[in-house]
Amino acid sequence: MNMKYEVYPHTADAGVRGIGDTVSEAFEGAAMATFSIMADIERVKPETAISVELSAGSLEDLLVKWLNELISLSSLKGIVFSKFEVDVDEGKVSLKATAWGQSMKDVPLQEEVKAATYADLKVEKTGDRWVAQCIVDV
């Protein structure tokens, strides 16, 4: 697995970008970037697993739905996620995924991420690497 992620500066919010050899890895990286804003995910134990299944009209829509579903589940269940396994079906524009995390009460929280937006949104293959990115409201 050769996936990485980064958070990049944006005027009012934060940009999240996942980069990987596959679109699935790029989605995993975008999720890692999103939760790295909320906590030091290197220190978050993958104790609780939650499954997610989504479909959308485009890969860009799927990325926003994916991140917003994770943000919503994190808030509802009180979990900070730190590990993701995503299987994107490009043909069906759908994904099946598992996210693992730890209770928020056991994790020092940094900044709250409210939502993924359609600003600066792209999911594309550049050379031999996939990039999945958007702006998140913090």
108, exposed or middle or buried, with CB in 10 Å at 0-12, 13-18, 19+?
exposed
Where along the chain do its domains lie?
Answer: 4-137
d(CA 120, CA 135): 6
Whether this model's pTM surpasses 0.75: yes
State the CATH architecture for 4-137: 3-Layer(bab) Sandwich (3.55)
Residue 49 makes CB contacts below 8 A (sequence gap 6+) with 98, 99, 100
Q: Quick check: helix, strand or coil at residue 65?
A: helix
d(CA 36, CA 40): 6
Render pLDDT for 24-82 as a digit per residue (tens, 0 to 9): 999 999 999 999 999 999 999 999 999 999 999 999 999 999 999 999 999 999 999 99
